[in-house]
Structure 1
Amino acid sequence: MVNRAPHVAVVGGGWAGLAAAVAACQRGWRVTLLEASPHWGGRARRVPSRIGPLDNGQHILIGAYHATLTLLATLGVPLTQALQRVPMALTYPDGGGLRVPGWTSTLPRVAHAVGLGAALLVARGWTWRDQRAALARLARWQLAGWRCAPTATVAELCAGLPRRVVADWIEPLAVAALNTPLQQASGAVWLRVLDDALHGPAPAPYAPSDLLLPRADLGTLLPDAATRWLAERGATLRLRARVTRLQAVTPAASPSDGGNPGTPAWHLAVAHGTPVQADAVVLATPAWASTQLLQALAADPDCPAGLARRGVAWADRARALQHIPIATVWLAPPPGWAWRWPTPMLALRHHPQQAPAQFVFARAADHPAAGLRLAAVVSAPDPAWHGRAADLAAAVQRQVQQALALPDTQVLATVVEQRATFACTPGLARPWAMLGPTLVAAGDHVEGPYPATLEGAVRSGLHAVDALGAALTPGFWPRP
């Protein structure tokens, strides 16, 4: 018997594409997932190296990442084993910084701001003036409904706060959430993330502000589980399948449709592979790759005029995004050295040239004999480091050795994701999701409430499938 379910092609096997493919399968649609590279996971993935698998970056989840945690649970990922739960902490090796007291985990959801307030009150090294200023600013933001002028930066939101408060609280949290310097980062988006971390929904047993740190590599966390789940349900999964062209195939008009042409179907040309015919497309490639495909689509004389105009406008908006690199320097401490801090993540005192890393993570190797590894993260490195990965690694090595009082470390690898994220600036106009009734964009760069995070990517993939729902409902085919 022929399967008459709609066929959806998902282009891009990162977290947005994987989420979209899973959601489409859950609706009973036929799914083909196409990924240009030889691996799944996009910009949050496992990277093979001479010392074993490494992550291309350190991605932190929080308890408020409801869509991501629900997706992982759907795929059968054991959350308590895969993720280490840590009450929100932005502590430094010297003990400074913030730590939300453990007793706040018993508070009802609406009271988690109390936990942050308690952390501000017990911040080590702060004066009473520092504590009072921080609590007053937190109360002001809450009374304002966690909203501000769309043109405000994080630095402007924090004007007048003591320097120690900004350095210990605002800066590390904003860098972790937005990967953008305070003077450029969107205050509105930062307040939205802070609001969700304090008041957002979180699946049991998590509090919304909990930090959830992957215990294994990122490939194990989502891509492996998602592709296994999809294969078990009959989805077609293709690696090294770069889509080179999208072509809208509009059915001829028929008397039963009042002489109107039907909704376009799609022909996808694949480099060195079999082309794909689909009823709908989720374009979950990075912004620059989607731009190339949409420009070529718009230039096709057979492309419907309205779709061509939307594609050109989308590409113009995507090109305006400013992409930012993130570097991870992997280090091996000397044999016998032990991590002595209660959480596996520490903030670092930062300077763009002398001390470029903002965070360091303790990560267990994939086999016990390899011992402990340290992953130091440089978010938005100073442009002076461009093309100087070895020099950057040496600077980070010196910084970590001094901060952790290490006698020595060995640089194992340096992984630089050149376009890891985008600058989340005030009033940023991101490209939208809906390009046509059967063509939808997804990715953390697509319009949405979150910056470039795993949660933003997953939400966009789920939203893309929801947006296709009306067009792919049997008996209902809206006009383009």
Structure 2
Amino acid sequence: MEGPGPGQALSGKLAIVGAGWAGMAAAVEAASLGAQVTVFEATRTLGGRARALAVQRPDGPPLALDNGQHILIGAYTDTLALMQRVGVDLPQALLSLPLGLPFPDGSGLQTPPWATRWPAPLDALAAIATVRGWPWGERLALVRASLRWQSAGFACDPALTVADLCQRLPARVTHELIEPLCVSALNTPITDASATVFLRVLRDALFGRGFGGYSGSSLLLPRTDLSTLFPDMAAQWLQRQGGTAGLRIGTRVSTLRPQGAQWMLGHEAGEEAFDQVIWATAASPAEKAMRQAADACDEATEPSLKAWARTVRALPFTAITTVYAWAPGARLSSPMLALRAQPDATEAPAQFVFDRGQLHPHDAAMQGLMAFVVSASTDDRDALQARVLAQAQRQLGLGTLQAVQTVVEKRATFACTPGLVRPPQAVAPGLWAAGDYVDGPYPATLEGAVRSGLSAARLATASH
């Protein structure tokens, strides 16, 4: 059954619970398809697990940071198209850098200036062929592996890990490129990460076409906080739609129960009936909501909600830690640098550092502010912070760093392991799920969240 075209109102009402990137993507898409949308958000900051965070620098000035450092890439075609749709000026909002993972000493993967305008995959192959510090044999081994993966359609045995996939690569190539790429994209160590998903990301990033004028491998670093980057702009776009869309900020949905062919959402002001619901919160509150809702369902609907909740509960999750630190006058050689993390991450846990001052050149308070990212982190906050500051002193020479804020997102992403079963988007008739953990082709990234939201909106509007 086809949904109505843009501008044609649906007769039913659609609720979206959660105003993160998945929820706001669903809201914009559903409103574009003519749905009468109401978005519920428990907090007063939009963005979910990719949102703004207000803190103070040690000497007093306020800072608009994020609850975790994120980047986008040119291959995030759905995210970039949606951002543009709601009015984001992409060149202003994102600093575009060619593919590169340079280390502080200048070694590492970097696209040479003469190849930055080459089409994919030539730009990526040029970067591989000119890696500083690698002998020709190691470069050729990676080029051959990349072409071999391409000839196989970027497909492999679904039981393989990334370590299995790359076991014939030289150790330096694995340690300096494959490991940081894998942990940044999948937030899972190569010994546990799904080779199938890793190849899919590589296909889009290194061999796929990017959005607009961006190469698929372009690194896009936000020049503003993550709430401003997309969710706030999406909220303004929804407000311009008039009576077809509404946003309830600071309204927590406490109950979900079926009533006939509708779903009742309970909150502090009472209950409201909706014909369709897209649940777009993080995995843990979604699992709890579906488990509680199952108790109020009939015998036909109860099993599907309980099965969905069990699948979510079985997902393994991993943490990401971002350490924000400030050194007056400090400036890195590039807005983003790779760091030499140890395999056991005991003494050098951070894989990347971002110079927020270069991303916000006109903000005096941001100058000297660094964001260190520890993917798949396992230690406690204070221990990680101390180790990262010591790592910064050794590898960057930043001995005057002062900790500003350390953010530990304990359930940042699911562990992207081989054969992992993720919950489906369809939960029950009229009830859908959206989020970066829901079944889909991408790992838990901003693109994965946005694609999930767009898909849920299309399913909900088409089914009514």
1:439 pairs, out of 423, 426, 431, with 431
Distance 1:120 1:4, change over 3 A: closer
Query: 1:305 aligns to what SS in structure 2?
Result: coil
Question: Which stretch shifts more, 367-376 or 206-215?
Answer: 367-376
Quote the residue 1:183 is aligned against. Answer: 191
Q: Output the amino acid matched with 2:72.
A: L
The 5-angstrom pairing of residues 95-174 of structure 1 reads: 95-108=106-119, 112-174=120-182
Q: TM-score, normalised by structure 1?
A: 0.89
Give the drift of 1:44: 0.3
Residue deviations 1:191-237 (CA, integer Å, cap 9, x gap): 00000112334222111111111011111101211111112223221
Give the drift of 1:140: 1.5
Quote the residue 2:370 is aligned against. Answer: 374
Quote the residue 1:231 is aligned against. Answer: 239
Q: Output the amino acid matched with 2:302.
A: A
Give the drift of 1:169: 1.3
Contact 1:307 1:435 in 2 (8 A): no
1:281 pairs, out of 274, 277, 280, with 277
Q: Output the amino acid matched with 2:161.
A: T
Q: Output the amino acid matched with 2:139.
A: Q
Contact 1:437 1:471 in 2 (8 A): no
1:461 pairs, out of 446, 453, 456, with 453
The 5-angstrom pairing of residues 302-381 of structure 1 reads: 303-334=297-328, 336-339=329-332, 341=333, 343-351=334-342, 352-364=345-357, 367-381=363-377
Q: Output the amino acid matched with 1:289.
A: P
Q: Output the amino acid matched with 2:45.
A: H
Residue deviations 1:160-199 (CA, integer Å, cap 9, x gap): 2111111121111111110100100000000000001123
Contact 2:413 2:444 in 1 (8 A): yes
Q: Aligned partners of 1:457, 1:99: CA distance in 2, in Å?
A: 28
Quote the residue 2:80 is aligned against. Answer: 69
Quote the residue 2:258 is aligned against. Answer: 248
Q: Output the amino acid matched with 1:42.
A: G
Contact 2:117 2:123 in 1 (8 A): no
Confirm or deny that 1:471 pairs with 2:463. yes
Give the drift of 1:307: 2.3
Give the drift of 1:369: 4.4
Q: Output the amino acid matched with 2:463.
A: A
Give the drift of 1:290: 1.3
Give the drift of 1:151: 0.5
Q: Aligned partners of 1:344, 1:370: CA distance in 2, in Å?
A: 13
Residue deviations 1:55-83 (CA, integer Å, cap 9, x gap): 11111111111110011001101000000
Contact 2:46 2:227 in 1 (8 A): yes
Confirm or deny that 1:411 pairs with 2:403. yes
Question: Which stretch shifts more, 134-143 or 13-22?
Answer: 134-143
Query: 2:413 aligns to what SS in structure 1?
Result: strand
Contact 2:356 2:367 in 1 (8 A): no
Q: Which runs of 5+ in 1 are unaligned?
A: 251-263, 473-480
Q: Aligned partners of 1:207, 1:149: CA distance in 2, in Å?
A: 28
Bigger radius of gyration, 1 or 2?
A: 1
Distance 1:454 1:370, change over 3 A: closer
1:42 pairs, out of 40, 48, 71, with 48
Contact 1:324 1:422 in 2 (8 A): yes
Give the drift of 1:4: 6.5
Q: Output the amino acid matched with 2:340.
A: R
Query: 2:126 aligns to what SS in structure 1?
Result: helix
- The total of aligned residue pairs comes to 444
Q: Output the amino acid matched with 2:283.
A: A
Q: Aligned partners of 2:155, 2:364: CA distance in 1, in Å?
A: 47
Q: Aligned partners of 2:368, 2:270: CA distance in 1, in Å?
A: 44
Q: Aligned partners of 1:11, 1:293: CA distance in 2, in Å?
A: 11
Contact 2:15 2:40 in 1 (8 A): yes
Quote the residue 1:293 is aligned against. Answer: 289
Percent identical pairs in the alignment equals 47
Give the drift of 1:370: 4.8
Residue deviations 1:403-425 (CA, integer Å, cap 9, x gap): 11224211111111121111000
Query: 1:306 aligns to what SS in structure 2?
Result: coil
Q: Aligned partners of 2:99, 2:293: CA distance in 1, in Å?
A: 46
2:442 pairs, out of 441, 450, 465, with 450
Contact 2:442 2:448 in 1 (8 A): yes
Q: Aligned partners of 1:15, 1:188: CA distance in 2, in Å?
A: 25
Give the drift of 1:239: 2.3
Q: Output the amino acid matched with 1:20.
A: A
Quote the residue 1:214 is aligned against. Answer: 222
Contact 2:115 2:123 in 1 (8 A): yes
Contact 2:426 2:433 in 1 (8 A): yes
Q: Output the amino acid matched with 2:337.
A: L
Q: TM-score, normalised by structure 2?
A: 0.92
Contact 2:39 2:248 in 1 (8 A): yes
Quote the residue 2:6 is aligned against. Answer: none
Distance 1:369 1:61, change over 3 A: closer
Q: Aligned partners of 1:126, 1:285: CA distance in 2, in Å?
A: 44
Q: Aligned partners of 2:449, 2:427: CA distance in 1, in Å?
A: 18
Contact 1:437 1:468 in 2 (8 A): no
Q: Which runs of 5+ in 2 are unaligned?
A: 1-8, 58-62
Contact 1:89 1:98 in 2 (8 A): yes
Give the drift of 1:104: 3.3
Q: Output the amino acid matched with 2:325.
A: L
Q: Aligned partners of 2:18, 2:314: CA distance in 1, in Å?
A: 21
Q: Aligned partners of 1:95, 1:227: CA distance in 2, in Å?
A: 42
Q: Aligned partners of 1:5, 1:273: CA distance in 2, in Å?
A: 24
1:425 pairs, out of 408, 414, 417, with 417
Q: Aligned partners of 2:201, 2:211: CA distance in 1, in Å?
A: 17
